[in-house]
Amino acid sequence: MKILLVEPNFPISTKSKNHSDFLPIGLLKIASYHKSLGDTICLNRGNLPSKFVPDEIKITSLFTYWSKYVKESVNYYKKLYPESKIEVGGIYASLMPEHCKEYTGCDKVYTGLYRNGKAEEYEPDYSLVNVDYQIIHASRGCFRHCNFCGTWKIEPEVTYKKTILKEIRSNKLIFYDNNLLANPNIKLILKEIENSKINDRVVFCESQSGLDGRILEKDPELAISLKKARFLKPRIAWDGSIKLKEKIKNQVEILKNAGYRNQDIYVFMLYNHNSLDYKEMCEKLEECRKWGVQVVDCRYRPLNATEDNYKPRAKSQTSKEYFIASNWTDNQIRSFRKAVRRQNIAIRLNLPEYRYIDGVEKKYVSCNLYQK
Ligand code: SF4
């Protein structure tokens, strides 16, 4: 079989294509799986002719609101190779299979992990991309069921690895786990990283997702294990209300006590969600400023949103163009983003009370005041 694997032309800048957040790791595992069956593989990152006329074309998908890029790829390859069978898998396909089939016009939609998780057993084929890190899954699924998250729908079965020792090939590991600390074997896995060397050099690691601080609170020793495993940029998820501030503060303290500096620690926050309004998000941001830690903000879009035309540089937009939660306004969304970025700069410069604009020191202004 000749199999063409396709990553659609997602709106990711060329220099970020190989960023660990966007690597089409599913396709790389499928590549290894099909190579093991003796198939010939080609990976196309975008819409361009293949090295061969494929028997099958497998197109991946990401966020539901990037569905139009999947459709563009299906159209492109249908025209180019009308005889080839086109299958779409990935996140959008798994969350909205009916929409995906009808909207993209593909021949088949594949939901969940490929070939019922069989491709999972294969190492990603890194020869198809040029990266200096390795993606690791030490677990699948998540035992929590947060209403804004699609993980537990896409990966309903929760599985944990006992070891990753034989998988380690790189000095830089990126965990793609949804809830890394939930793995009951996580301390052993971190110990393996602590003791590993590749090419006589130690191994560093980080996680694409935020850390579940409730687990950290139950077992603060985990923070020490993370630090010893050279875990970089720990990000605590704070999706709940301001009432949790003492708990989050405690989680930040646990990381600091383990040896992390303020500038190393991040708090992950979802905004533009009905559960918390602008005022409360500003209060949360203010707490992070007091603790001296940076914020990673994530603008919420509903799990079934099939488009998102938000333009960060636009002066204003309406809810016809992108999702604005009922208790948020376009102006508040833009103000909050600006406030986060400004505050992070101040934290990085170790000037939490101040900010710099064009080299001029200005007094820090909280986001409530910032919004006209
Ligand atoms: S803890 Fe994280 S991964 Fe798990 S369901 Fe909630 S948001 Fe999703």
Residue range 182-202, pLDDT digits in tens: 999 999 999 999 999 999 999
Domain positions in the chain are 2-116
Select from 154, 148, 133, 219 the least CA-distant residue to 181.
219
CB atoms within 10 A of CB 11: 9
In the numeric block, which tokens belong to residue 169? Answer: 């090939």
For residue 114, pLDDT over 60 is answered with yes
Instruction: Report the SS3 class of residue 65.
Output: helix
Listing from the earlier edge strand, what are the strands of the sheet with 2-7? 40-45, 2-7, 56-59, 85-88, 108-109
User: 86: CA distance to ligand 1 center in Å?
Assistant: 31
pLDDT for 258-267, tens place per residue? 999 988 999 9
- Work out which ligand 1 atom sits closest to the CA atom of 152: 5
CATH of domain 2-116: 3.40.50.280
Question: pTM above 0.85?
Answer: yes
- Work out which ligand 1 atom sits closest to the CA atom of 151: 8
User: 142: CA distance to ligand 1 center in Å?
Assistant: 6
CA distance 135 to 48: 26
CA distance 256 to 170: 27
Question: In this predicted structure, what is the pLDDT of residue 209?
Answer: 92
User: 298: CA distance to ligand 1 center in Å?
Assistant: 14
pLDDT for 313-343, tens place per residue? 999 999 999 999 999 999 999 999 998 998 8
Strands 204-207 and 294-299: unpaired
Question: In this predicted structure, what is the pLDDT of residue 263?
Answer: 85
What are the pocket residues of ligand 1 if the criterion is a CB atom closer than 6 Å to any ligand atom?
Answer: 142, 144-146, 149, 151-152, 178-179, 212
Question: In this predicted structure, what is the pLDDT of residue 357?
Answer: 47
User: 214: CA distance to ligand 1 center in Å?
Assistant: 12
DSSP character for 319? T
User: 140: CA distance to ligand 1 center in Å?
Assistant: 11
> In sequence order, what E strands does 161-282 have?
172-175, 197-198, 201-202, 204-207, 235-237, 266-271
- HSE of 2, CA atoms in CB hemisphere, 13 A: 10
CA distance 303 to 147: 9
H and E: helices and strands count for the chain: 12, 17
Q: How confident is the model at residue 98 (pLDDT cuts 50, 70, 90)?
A: very high
pLDDT for 224-273, tens place per residue? 999 999 999 999 999 999 999 999 999 999 999 999 998 899 999 999 99
Is the distance from CB of 255 to CB of 230 less than 8 angstroms? no
Question: In this predicted structure, what is the pLDDT of residue 372?
Answer: 40
Choose one of 95, 178, 216, 303 to mutate for the ligand 1 pocket test, by most ligand atoms within 8 angstroms of C-beta.
178
- The angle, 0 to 180 degrees and rounded to 10, between the axes of the packed helices 330-348 and 278-291 is 0
Select from 169, 366, 170, 185 the least CA-distant residue to 285.
366
For residue 356, pLDDT over 50 is answered with no
* Residue partners of 179: CB distance under 8 A and separation at least 6: 139, 142, 143, 144, 209, 212
Select from 68, 54, 55 the least CA-distant residue to 100.
68
For residue 119, pLDDT over 90 is answered with no
Residue 174 pairs with which residues in a beta bridge?
A: 135, 206
For residue 362, pLDDT over 80 is answered with no
In the numeric block, which tokens belong to residue 115? Answer: 């070939």
pLDDT for 271-286, tens place per residue? 999 999 999 999 999 9
What phi, psi does 123 have (nearest 5°)?
-70, 140
* Residue partners of 146: CB distance under 8 A and separation at least 6: 239
pLDDT for 130-166, tens place per residue? 899 999 999 999 999 888 888 888 888 899 999 999 9
Q: Which residue has the tokens 């939609």?
A: 109
The more confidently predicted of residues 108 and 150 is 108
**Residue nearest atom 6 in ligand 1 by C-alpha distance:** 146
Question: In this predicted structure, what is the pLDDT of residue 226?
Answer: 98
pLDDT for 300-313, tens place per residue? 999 999 999 999 99
For residue 349, pLDDT over 50 is answered with yes
For residue 16, pLDDT over 90 is answered with no
* Residue partners of 266: CB distance under 8 A and separation at least 6: 233, 234, 235, 236, 293, 294, 295, 296
For residue 39, pLDDT over 80 is answered with yes
Nearest 5°: the CA angle 226, 141, 27 is 95
* Residue partners of 370: CB distance under 8 A and separation at least 6: 335, 338, 339
**281 in the Ramachandran plot: left (φ > 0), alpha (ψ -120 to 50) or beta?**
alpha
